[in-house]
Amino acid sequence: MNTQTPVAEETLDSLFKVGAHYGVAKARRHPTAQQYLFGQKDKIDLFDLAKTQEALEVAQDFVRSLAAERKQVVFVGGKAESHKVVRTEAERVGAAYSVGRWIGGTITNFSEIKKRVARMVDLMNKRDTGDLTKYTKFERLQIDREIEKLQSMYAGLVPLKEKLPAALFVIDPRREAIAVREARLNNIPVIAVANSDCNFDDVDYVIPANDAALRSIAYFVRAIADAYAEGATTKPSAAAVQQ
């Protein structure tokens, strides 16, 4: 007897269509991934998508709860395949993000990162309001170059303002080991789409799935972004308002 609801069946079908079930070669498997696998095909690990779906729903509930408390989640996507969708989806829901190379110290040296972000915002505001007209053409050119450099590194972190994030959402925790390590050192939960070559013990909310294919990455990034947007529409608690 089929006990799956129509919504659950639709989700499983969607996961299958984007190739979320494809892991890595069995020889590269990390032991912690074993419990989430269905089997292998041509020596490639295959995830049990029912477990992937369940893990995604747990992660979404957690993200909704953070957004409802007006807490920030940083979307982290270092892989080239993830850059566009991570930036687009994070900006869509007002979340912080980091694409490309993770800036070491983003969490562990947050006080310095805040200064860099504040400098960028200040220069951009002065440029937009015409306050830079008092400088020479050469000086303005130098400032524009500084703004461009700062934006390339810190533009996605502006939503953090003065506070550390409440969680990281990572594509491939194995690749983003530095970001994961910084989060764990500061007791910041890590949510991650993790392939079968990752150490799942490094992640608080693991979503076992293909973290390499664009369609799979995009599916999970949008799912987490949607959850964040849903949580943000919830009336915040009195404690969250006072923060």
Question: What domain range includes position 118?
Answer: 110-156
**pLDDT value of position 133:** 86
Q: Is residue 70 part of a domain?
A: yes
In angstroms, what CA-CA distances link 157 with 72, 87, 129, 144, 152? 10, 11, 22, 19, 11
Is residue 82 within 8 A of residue 217, CB to CB? The reply is yes
Domain boundary among 124, 156, 188: 156
Which portions of the chain are predicted below pLDDT 50? 1, 241
Q: Read off the pTM.
A: 0.90
- Please indicate, yes or no, whether residues 181 and 233 belong to a single structural domain of this protein: yes
Distance CA 241, CA 243 (A): 6
**Residue 74 identity:** V
- Please indicate, yes or no, whether residues 32 and 151 belong to a single structural domain of this protein: no
Looking up residue 126, the CATH number of its domain turns out to be: 1.10.287
Quote the number of domains for the chain: 2
Is residue 204 within 8 A of residue 34, CB to CB? The reply is no
- Please indicate, yes or no, whether residues 60 and 98 belong to a single structural domain of this protein: yes
Query: Which tens digits make up the pLDDT trace of 91-128?
Result: 999 999 999 999 999 999 999 999 999 999 999 999 98
